[in-house]
Structure 1
Amino acid sequence: MWIRLYKYKIQLFFVLIISVSAFKTAAQSNEPNELVPGKSNAKKYEQFYDSLEYKAKQKKLTRIIYDFLVSPPRAFVDKEAVSLEYYSQLEGKIISEISIKPLDVFGPTFEDTTRTAKSWLERTANKVHTKSNLNTIEKMLLFKVGDFVDADLMYENERIIRSLPYIQDVKIVLEQDSVYKGLVKVSVLTKDRFSVGVSGGVDGGQSAALEVYNQNIFGIGHEISFRFVGHLNKQPYTGLETFYKIKNFKGKFVDISAGYTNTYLREGFSFNLDKPFIIPSIKWGFGGSAQRMFRTDRVLDNDPIKTQESMDLAFLSAWGGRSFQLKPGHFQNSQMVLSAGIYNRTYFHRPSPATDGLQYFSNSTFYLAGLTFSQRRYMQDQLVYSYGITEDIPEGFKNELVFGYDANEFGDRYYAHLYFSNGNLLVKRQGYLFLSGGVGGYFKDNRYEQGQVQAGLNFISRQIPAGRKRFRLFARANYMLGIRRFEIENLTLNRNDHIRGFSSREAAGKQRLSLDLEYVLFLRKQFYKFNMAAYGFADVGIIGSNKNLIFTEHYYSGLGLGIRIHNENLVFKTFHLRLGFYPFPPSDMSFVGVILEEQLKKDFYSFTPTAPQPLRFE
């Protein structure tokens, strides 16, 4: 017991140092987010940095360090207020004309559309790249000629277009007609990302993958991907995964995708259709999917459970929902959504049932109904998960009640869960706080099974000054408790949102608590046109049995630093180079780890009503 407490204290020591330091730094300044020095200190402030720059420029080494770490202060701009005020000036006037102008990937900006690419590589990329088709962008517009200008609708439309994977940014410009003052001309400026990307990696020296994809093929917004997978010892030694996706089919905001895979892990077909509640005024949302896997190690691509024995299965699903605005006429109002879905799983080959008769892989038809209350609005900021481009950060809430009936071959059962979530800016824009919690499970023969309790917290600080640089503090906490889960269902700490770089199979259980802290310093210096962010992290995870208090279970931790590299002009994933240290690691892990990997950028929880589905235990 004393040894365990000793290990616990050592692992938390570094985390406490970092967290106290972070909040001390934030507390030292009570200024607003723009952090402009007071008039009395402005002169001294400028003199100090002018002197620092002069001294740093005297030698080559110090000049490089200065250019890498120091940049002039950036005044905070409330883009949401600026945009809404801009559109409100002409609100109520009639749209007489709409023009769409896509800019080159490299060179021009919204501030200077005549700017051209400088290097031959950028000029070549502009020539090779196919700009977004004007009709493709036009189908994304929520307004048309003859409509009245609506400030909220314009602001929301920018966000929807900006969320496309091949669009870096968008700007809607209004111009009042010089003759007829009641008419307005609308210009939509878009800036694409270079849509062709390459991804790949090696896994343990036995397998490797190479992916080539295009997220805006022919400029029409369709996506296509080819992923080549190989293994030295498992057949087929070389395989292929491919999919094709159509965004906003016929301008109805319906997404359709189909795929085929044949690798050493799985073989089969898939089809998906989805019409989300993209804005609160959308009345109907629906979707469906079909999957036929002749050979697979998991039920769905995002299923947390893998099997050693290949399975043969079919999966079908369909759902639909109706939205009701609680305050009609208010654009960012609350909404209530009634939804229902059906999910069918049929196994033709699967692992043998456990001795107690419990079977995770069971033939079943699952009927679910949901009641969701939600509200969402979006504020704009920069340097959160991206690197200098506009980011749309959701505020609001989503509370849902889901009830279902599982017609299961091993015994019919009922399901129910409650889930609550809320995310908002703190007072005086001191940061962003997201909170969530849920409880749910199945009821069979007056017995509760496969239940869970979960809670989460995500805090993102405002931009904090470090000299002339700025950084953010990210803090995340997550708790998960499984109640009478099946033997095959176990939690781990392996995902990057628990302990970064942790890869142990030994550290598993039915109960988990994790705390993650991360400093991110956004660097002005670029690496061959790629933006960079340096970061340090301290993660702690506790995992073990669900029969004991979580603080009496096994402690693990990770400390380290790294750098992220990304180019917002490209659809490439973010590259991570990370050095991590893992005090008192499990027997199947080493004390130190160096990782170079690709990751998709994190997304905010959007509070958008979705299909009714059971809570995920992962």
Structure 2
Amino acid sequence: MPYEGKIIRHIIIKGYGFEQTFTDTSKRLQYFGTRLLNQMHRKTRSWVIRNSLFIKENTALNSYKVADNERLIRSLNYIQDARILVNTLPDNEDSVDLVVVVKDLFSIGGELSSFGLGPTSIRGNVSEANFLGMGQKIQGGVIIEQTRYPSFGYQLLYNKINVYRFVDATASYTQINPNLKDATPNEQAWFLQLSRPLYAPYAHLAGGLNFGTYNSINRYSQPDSLFFKYRYWVHDIWLGWNLGNNKFLSNTSVLDRKFVSLRYFKNHFTDNPYQLAGKWNFRFNDREAVLSQFTFFRQEFYKTNYIYGFGTTEDIPAGYNVALSTGYYHQIGAQDLRRFYAGVDANYYVVTKRGGFFQYFLRSGGFMKHGQVQDASALIGASYYSPLFLFSNLKIRQYVNMSYTRQFARLGTDPLTLNNVFGLRYFSGDSVYGGQRATLHSETSFFINYKFLGFKFAPFAFGDISLLTPADQPYLNKSSLYHGLGAGLRARNENLVFNTIEFRMVYFPRRTEQNQSFKIMLNTGIQFRYNSVYVKAPDVIFLNTDGLNSIY
């Protein structure tokens, strides 16, 4: 970079509203309701953006820090895009000014997750992701259902990013939290979360704090034999330190990083479902752990689009991330179980010359007690996004994901199921389970060059196939075959904070007790950004979930 090492004289913030185009800010988007939306929207205040800057005035310009800071601002959930531009100074060749250009999203959003009549069932929420332009989120969720008592339930949530330029804070009270048994929204909860992400590969510190209490209430008048009554509390804290971070800034050719962290958590049930008394169940057992983790990573980022979004800038990682975890784990189920744990979570990201993206991933872990291995597991797989193909007025991208999972000597952890990202998506229920699972998923997306009221559209078609093998069978030839086929349409307005809207039809030829053969779904909570994190809290390996969306 020709400006490397020059002194940053001033940093200027230029913010643009959601109705302005990023390539030509003199142009404004004009469609039905723009004027009304403008009156409801408060542009992000300059000090909010300035608080997200770790590049400083009167310091030497470092191109790596500038690129990382641009990506950090772009990741804020109320910002659509960001650029950091360099202005030269004719009268001072040793200094430059930086111009931080940001474009807002319209920050009022919502989600209608369920709507039905006979009986009435309405579930949804409304949120303001950038209340008063101050980088704070308020959200209210509601449920109105005839089969529920009382028929009305609500959720309140407040989130503030970058409190005192140090942590992100979230506080919430809800009567409609999904329960631990089957995700029915009859759990009452309150929680407080503080988190400090590793916002750049040379940042010093990361960590988090989580306190909360959770209890189920029989809102749907279920028989005692079916209702799981429980109450528990969570204490969770972790802290990590970036090793040798200052060396990177003095030698930017060394991109490999090392991070060490420690975590303590305790989930304690003061009231446990009588149906599970004296049984192993990972969700309902008391658990306490002290875990350490050593992570070494090298992650750069590649700017692209049409992965999760509809044309806006997206940051996709390239490099590797390997986390080695070990520690003490205490679980109380059928017995009081105290064990040593060790595990690995490894990811390798590749960007091809033609603009395709590969991710290879491996998760493996297990417990040791009296010299015997228990609850061991391995999950291995790969994901691939093809280059963007251009055909007439269409942009086409192909996605493929495959994985294989196996458990060994299972005792206290949950068996493998299909109702998750490593099985069949949108498959309902957890009554189908096994000890081995092999899955292949393929999806083709077609991005149309057409807008309606600012919304862009992308039809898609997909197919899933999964083999599930009983735990007592060592070979796949005893597996049961499950598959799903479907198609749908996604729509998104890139200027709004609303998530992508998805209409999906799916057919499962093999029907099960808890899963219908044909489903039609409308989902307004589809992910629209890749959730890239350098490091995360130490934990055991999970095989039925990808909570941080760390898989492409």
TM over 0.5: yes
Helix, strand or coil at the partner of 1:400: strand
| Structure 2 counterpart of 1:38 | none
- Tell me by how many angstroms 1:183 deviates: 2.2
**Pair 1:97 & 2:19 matched:** no
Which letter maps to 1:372? Answer: T
**Pair 1:425 & 2:351 matched:** yes
| Structure 2 counterpart of 1:40 | none
| Structure 2 counterpart of 1:26 | none
CA distance in 1, matches of 2:476, 2:482: 13
CA distance in 1, matches of 2:172, 2:509: 43
2:414 aligns with one of 466, 469, 489: 489
2:519 aligns with one of 584, 593, 597: 593
1:522–1:534: 8 Å Cα contact kept in structure 2? Answer: yes
| Structure 2 counterpart of 1:350 | 272
Moved more, 604-613 or 569-578: 604-613
1:535–1:561: 8 Å Cα contact kept in structure 2? Answer: yes
CA distance in 2, matches of 1:350, 1:270: 20
| Structure 2 counterpart of 1:544 | 469
| Structure 2 counterpart of 1:192 | 104
| Structure 2 counterpart of 1:449 | 374
| Structure 1 counterpart of 2:186 | 265
Which letter maps to 1:319? Answer: W
| Structure 2 counterpart of 1:474 | 399
CA distance in 2, matches of 1:232, 1:450: 43
CA distance in 2, matches of 1:267, 1:589: 27
TM-score norm. by structure 2 comes to: 0.88
Which letter maps to 2:139? Answer: S
**Pair 1:315 & 2:234 matched:** yes
Relative distance call for 1:367 and 1:131 in structure 2 (3 A) is same
Moved more, 136-145 or 476-485: 476-485
| Structure 2 counterpart of 1:458 | 383
- Tell me by how many angstroms 1:311 deviates: 1.1
Which letter maps to 1:280? Answer: P
Equivalent residues in 2 for 1:404-415, closer than 5 Å? 404-409=327-332, 410-415=336-341
- Tell me by how many angstroms 1:612 deviates: 0.7
1:110–1:189: 8 Å Cα contact kept in structure 2? Answer: no
CA distance in 1, matches of 2:10, 2:276: 67
Which letter maps to 1:537? Answer: F
**Pair 1:513 & 2:438 matched:** yes
CA distance in 1, matches of 2:157, 2:514: 36
1:397–1:607: 8 Å Cα contact kept in structure 2? Answer: no
CA distance in 2, matches of 1:341, 1:529: 45
Helix, strand or coil at the partner of 1:126: helix
Helix, strand or coil at the partner of 1:599: strand
1:103–1:191: 8 Å Cα contact kept in structure 2? Answer: yes
Relative distance call for 1:356 and 1:314 in structure 2 (3 A) is closer
- Tell me by how many angstroms 1:187 deviates: 1.5
CA distance in 2, matches of 1:613, 1:169: 33
CA distance in 2, matches of 1:386, 1:463: 13
- Tell me by how many angstroms 1:486 deviates: 4.7
* Cα shift readout 1:359-392 (whole Å, capped 9, x = no counterpart): 5333343111111111111010111110111110
| Structure 2 counterpart of 1:81 | none
* Cα shift readout 1:487-517 (whole Å, capped 9, x = no counterpart): 8823332236633433254433232211101
Pick the structure with more helix per residue. 1
- Tell me by how many angstroms 1:438 deviates: 2.0
Which letter maps to 1:335? Answer: R
CA distance in 1, matches of 2:421, 2:374: 29
Equivalent residues in 2 for 1:372-451, closer than 5 Å? 372-409=295-332, 410-426=336-352, 428-429=353-354, 431-451=356-376
* Cα shift readout 1:376-427 (whole Å, capped 9, x = no counterpart): 110101111101111101111111211111244513211111222101113x
Moved more, 146-155 or 130-139: 146-155
1:482–1:617: 8 Å Cα contact kept in structure 2? Answer: no
- Tell me by how many angstroms 1:595 deviates: 1.8
- Tell me by how many angstroms 1:604 deviates: 3.6
CA distance in 1, matches of 2:41, 2:278: 59
CA distance in 2, matches of 1:146, 1:212: 42
Which letter maps to 1:435? Answer: Y
2:380–2:403: 8 Å Cα contact kept in structure 1? Answer: yes
| Structure 2 counterpart of 1:334 | 256
CA distance in 1, matches of 2:350, 2:455: 31
Q: Which has the larger Rg?
A: 1
CA distance in 2, matches of 1:586, 1:429: 42
* Cα shift readout 1:10-44 (whole Å, capped 9, x = no counterpart): xxxxxxxxxxxxxxxxxxxxxxxxxxxxxxxxxxx
- Tell me by how many angstroms 1:100 deviates: 0.9
1:172–1:189: 8 Å Cα contact kept in structure 2? Answer: yes
Relative distance call for 1:344 and 1:114 in structure 2 (3 A) is same
2:443–2:463: 8 Å Cα contact kept in structure 1? Answer: yes
**Pair 1:233 & 2:147 matched:** yes
CA distance in 1, matches of 2:452, 2:515: 33
Relative distance call for 1:203 and 1:128 in structure 2 (3 A) is closer
2:235–2:265: 8 Å Cα contact kept in structure 1? Answer: yes
User: Between Structure 1 and Structure 2, how many residues are aligned?
Assistant: 519
- Tell me by how many angstroms 1:573 deviates: 1.4
CA distance in 2, matches of 1:228, 1:607: 31
Which letter maps to 2:447? Answer: F
CA distance in 1, matches of 2:278, 2:538: 30
CA distance in 2, matches of 1:138, 1:469: 39
2:125 aligns with one of 195, 211, 236: 211
* Cα shift readout 1:543-581 (whole Å, capped 9, x = no counterpart): 231232234311111112111001111111111112223
Pick the structure with more strand per residue. 2
1:404–1:416: 8 Å Cα contact kept in structure 2? Answer: yes
| Structure 1 counterpart of 2:509 | 583
CA distance in 2, matches of 1:473, 1:380: 18
Moved more, 589-598 or 179-188: 589-598
Moved more, 198-207 or 122-131: 198-207
- Tell me by how many angstroms 1:480 deviates: 2.0
Helix, strand or coil at the partner of 1:411: strand
* Cα shift readout 1:225-253 (whole Å, capped 9, x = no counterpart): 1101233233332111111111011122x
| Structure 2 counterpart of 1:291 | 212
Equivalent residues in 2 for 1:31-70, closer than 5 Å? none
Instruction: Give the fraction of aligned pairs with identical amino acids, expressed as a percent.
Output: 25
CA distance in 2, matches of 1:494, 1:122: 40
CA distance in 2, matches of 1:541, 1:296: 35
Relative distance call for 1:573 and 1:273 in structure 2 (3 A) is same
| Structure 1 counterpart of 2:200 | 279
1:319–1:611: 8 Å Cα contact kept in structure 2? Answer: yes
Helix, strand or coil at the partner of 1:412: strand
Moved more, 394-403 or 498-507: 498-507
1:112 aligns with one of 24, 31, 45: 24
| Structure 2 counterpart of 1:146 | 58
1:169 aligns with one of 81, 102, 110: 81
Relative distance call for 1:457 and 1:609 in structure 2 (3 A) is same
Relative distance call for 1:515 and 1:603 in structure 2 (3 A) is farther
Moved more, 219-228 or 181-190: 181-190
Which letter maps to 2:322? Answer: N
